[in-house]
């Protein structure tokens, strides 16, 4: 087996061009890659590690976008001032991934790259309108909205010689609120059984540009059709029965034959309650800012 550690994007492109194909794998923190190979025959002909590419470990703001490098760890993202200022949902999601050790090694690119239905970051990036920046072996760069980056069956829509190098998120408009909540078997170190993410803009007390996403329900997290029902309404706990009904119907319709459907259909009530609390909390903080 050969092991590659490119340090520049041209070197990464060259590795992709020369090595891509069966048995070649990209790796970052390996917190998904290695556990998935426990007890199975080693299948790697070539490993391309992304962690020595300094450029992929950066978070910066330019031209109305915040760019998150693919190898930024959950710890790094959770604590970054730009993320805390604009994207509390992302800070909440990264802060709830696994344990401290997992958050110190696991990366945003690896989380999306693994394309797990229960991955916490995809639904958040979806509601925030992010797109993935993808490098190919011929050094071309293309940008894909999240819905196109991950296919409905829960696999990456990348060619074998492509890698995600960053995610670009539009800087939210004033009055934007965003939040992420999840439910698992435990309160900590828990994989989501169901998650709910939201982004919306409060304008004169009314909700606009509402985007809700349900995670860990179908093969891929999806934007909820309940979003439009909230448009133009005031943000308050009085919305809970209506939101719960709409989300519950949607969960039931999207996984009618799954044994977990009756549980998830009920569990979404608690999540909707937690989500409204998180958004109301943020709304109070925003209104108290000088």
Ligand X SMILES: Cc1cc2nc3c(=O)[nH]c(=O)nc-3n(C[C@H](O)[C@H](O)[C@H](O)COP(=O)(O)OP(=O)(O)OC[C@H]3O[C@@H](n4cnc5c(N)ncnc54)[C@H](O)[C@@H]3O)c2cc1C
Q: How far is the CB of 261 from ligand X (least distance, A)?
A: 22
Interface map 55-74 toward ligand X (x if CB under 6 A): ---------------x----
Site membership for ligand X, residue 109 (CB under 6 A): yes
Closest-approach residue to ligand X (CB): 110
Mention every residue, 6+ apart, whose C-beta is less than 8 A from residue 255: 217, 218, 261, 264
137 binds ligand X (CB under 6 A): no
Please list every residue from 18 through 57 that binds ligand X, using CB under 6 A. Answer: 25-33, 35, 50
Residue 134 CB contacts under 8 Å (≥ 6 apart), including other chains: 141, 142, 143, 144, 149, 158, 162, 163, 164, 165
Provide, rounded to whole angstroms, the least separation between the CB of residue 24 and ligand X.
9
Provide, rounded to whole angstroms, the least separation between the CB of residue 290 and ligand X.
Answer: 36
Phi, psi of 220 (to 5 degrees): -135, 140
Q: Is 209 left (phi over 0), alpha (psi -120 to 50) or beta?
A: left
Supply 2's token pair.
């050969």
Per-position x/- string for 201-220, each x denoting binding to ligand X as judged by CB under 6 A, each - no binding: --------------------
Helix (H), strand (E) at residue 167: strand 162-170
Instruction: Assess contact for 56 and 7: CB atoms under 8 A.
Output: no
Selected range binding ligand X among 59-67, 105-113, 232-240, 279-287, rule: CB under 6 A: 105-113
Number of residues that bind ligand X (CB under 6 A): 29
Please report, as ranges, the residues that interact with ligand X according to CB under 6 A: 25-33, 35, 50, 70, 97-98, 102, 105-107, 109-111, 113-114, 119-120, 163-164, 189, 191
């Amino acid at each position: 087996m050969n092991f590659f550690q490119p340090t520049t994007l041209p070197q990464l492109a060259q590795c992709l061009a020369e090595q891509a194909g069966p048995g070649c794998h990209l790796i970052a923190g390996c917190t998904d890659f290695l556990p998935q190979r426990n007890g199975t025959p080693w299948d790697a002909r070539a490993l391309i590690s992304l962690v020595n590419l300094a450029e992929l470990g950066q978070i910066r703001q330019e031209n109305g976008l915040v760019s998150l490098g693919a190898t930024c760890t959950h710890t790094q993202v959770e604590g970054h001032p730009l993320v805390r200022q604009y994207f509390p949902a992302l800070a909440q999601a990264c802060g709830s991934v696994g344990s401290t050790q997992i958050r110190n090694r696991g990366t945003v690119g690896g989380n999306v790259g693994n394309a797990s239905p229960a991955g916490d970051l995809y639904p958040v990036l979806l509601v925030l309108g992010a797109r993935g920046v993808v490098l190919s072996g011929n050094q071309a760069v293309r940008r894909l909205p999240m819905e196109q980056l991950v296919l409905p069956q829960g696999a990456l829509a990348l060619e074998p010689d492509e890698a995600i190098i960053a995610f670009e998120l539009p800087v939210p408009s004033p009055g934007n609120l965003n939040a992420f909540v999840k439910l698992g078997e435990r309160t900590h170190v828990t994989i989501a059984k169901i998650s709910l993410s939201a982004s919306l803009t409060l304008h004169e007390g009314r909700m606009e540009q509402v985007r809700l996403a349900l995670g860990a329900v179908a093969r891929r997290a999806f934007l909820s059709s309940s979003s439009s029902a909230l448009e133009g309404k005031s943000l308050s706990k009085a919305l809970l029965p209506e939101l719960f009904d709409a989300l519950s119907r949607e969960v039931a319709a999207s996984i009618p034959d799954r044994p977990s459907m009756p549980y998830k259909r009920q569990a979404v009530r608690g999540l909707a309650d937690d989500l409204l609390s998180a958004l109301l909390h943020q709304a109070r903080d925003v209104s108290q800012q000088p």
